[in-house]
Amino acid sequence: MKRTARHYKKNPKSRAKKAVYDKEYNARPDQKKKRAELNRERRKRGIYGKGGADVSHKRGGGTTLESPSKNRARNGAKKGRPKSARRTGTKK
């Protein structure tokens, strides 16, 4: 279990707060459009509903397959956390 998952498992109040934020974030029109685009690509590749790699957006605008942990960790600081709360990249 990764560090964040352990945190939310131990802290129900934090988990509830995150659930509220995630619900609002995923209901935004731009997020719905992005999710639909990636689901469409997964169907096209024949991997929709089978788990495994994520279809990820590349910088140039295309898509590629990528491991979920790499894809979901990238740009994590952009999701609403103030700059002061971001990790400095040091490992414990």
Q: How many domains does the chain have?
A: 1
A 10 A CB-CB count for 71 gives: 16
Question: What is the reported pLDDT for 56?
Answer: 87
Least confident of 11-15, 59-63, 73-77: 73-77
Does residue 85 lie within any of the structural domains?
no
Question: What is the reported pLDDT for 30?
Answer: 96
Does residue 25 lie within any of the structural domains?
yes
Which pLDDT band, with edges at 50, 70 and 90, does 79 fall under?
low
Least confident of 51-55, 67-71, 73-77, 85-89: 85-89
DSSP bridge pairs for 55: 65
Does residue 62 lie within any of the structural domains?
no
Question: What is the reported pLDDT for 57?
Answer: 84
Does residue 31 lie within any of the structural domains?
yes
- Tracing tokens 């898509």 back to the chain, one arrives at 63
Domain that holds residue 23: 1-43
Does residue 56 lie within any of the structural domains?
no
